[in-house]
Amino acid sequence: MDNRRVLLFCAWCAPALIVLLGVGIFPVAGLVPPPSPSDSAETIQRFFSANAGAIRVGMVMVMIGSAGFIPWTIGLGHQLKQPGRDSSIATHIQTASGVIACLVGVNFSMITSLAAFRPDDVAPETTRMLDDWMWFWWLIPWPPFMVWCVLVGILILRDANAVPVFPRWTGYLSIWAAVCYTPGSLATFFKSGALAYDGIIVWYIPTVVFFVWMLIMTGYMLRGARRVPADAPVEAALA
């Protein structure tokens, strides 16, 4: 397979995973808006009991989609390489970030699937604890994502290529996105309002910003991939 096709495949993983995660979490599993952490244990249990089948299907979609983080991140790291500079450390950091993103998605789907596995056979408090755990897992591990986006922003702003793949403003966007993830930690302190894990500041802003960032970066990744000669060897490009 030639280099251009590999890079295009990596780039298209982002729209595919966003569709799988978005459809799986929202219309299929019905987890948006998230259940409130202030809801009673009985309310949470009834929700999972009434939607158990749909939640399981949705979480399978999330698990499959999460695998796309790894090739997308590797493709992004490749297109951020600069001639004449050893970027192996930066590439490894980005690859690790993609693996962490994959694990966040996979573990979120596993915890949610467990909550929907036998909700009528366990205590309501157990189901509510799993519900808390799955949203904590979605929101609180933001520091690796912050490192990822800050690194991407710095690499873009330092790009010395004559024709950069990513315009300079996307570097500032990446750093701004990293800052937007930080409210995730507030989920541990509030059970209601905008600062709870179902609130606009803690759930909606970080989640929407991250996936919008991915889509914007993907647009430029696709443009950059199409500039690569079709006969360029993939081994050299991904070295």
Cα(232)–Cα(3) distance, integer angstroms = 5
Domains of the chain, residue spans: 3-30+39-226
Task: Quote the DSSP letter at residue 229.
Answer: -
Using an 8 Å Cβ cutoff, are 147 and 174 in contact? Answer: no
Residue-level pLDDT, tens digit, the chain, 239 residues: 578 899 999 999 999 999 999 999 999 999 999 999 999 999 999 999 999 999 999 999 999 999 999 999 999 999 998 765 667 899 899 999 999 999 999 999 999 999 999 999 999 999 999 999 999 999 999 999 999 999 999 999 998 777 889 999 999 999 999 999 999 999 999 999 999 999 999 999 999 999 999 999 999 999 999 887 766 655 444 44
- Grouping H, G, I as helix, E, B as strand and the rest as coil, residue 220 is helix
Vertex 146: Cα angle to 140 and 151 (nearest 5): 160
Task: Quote the DSSP letter at residue 39.
Answer: S
Q: What is the pTM of this model?
A: 0.93
Q: Is the peptide bond before 33 cis (omega within 30 degrees of 0)?
A: yes
- Nearest Cα residue to 118 out of 63, 62, 48: 48
Cα(155)–Cα(159) distance, integer angstroms = 6
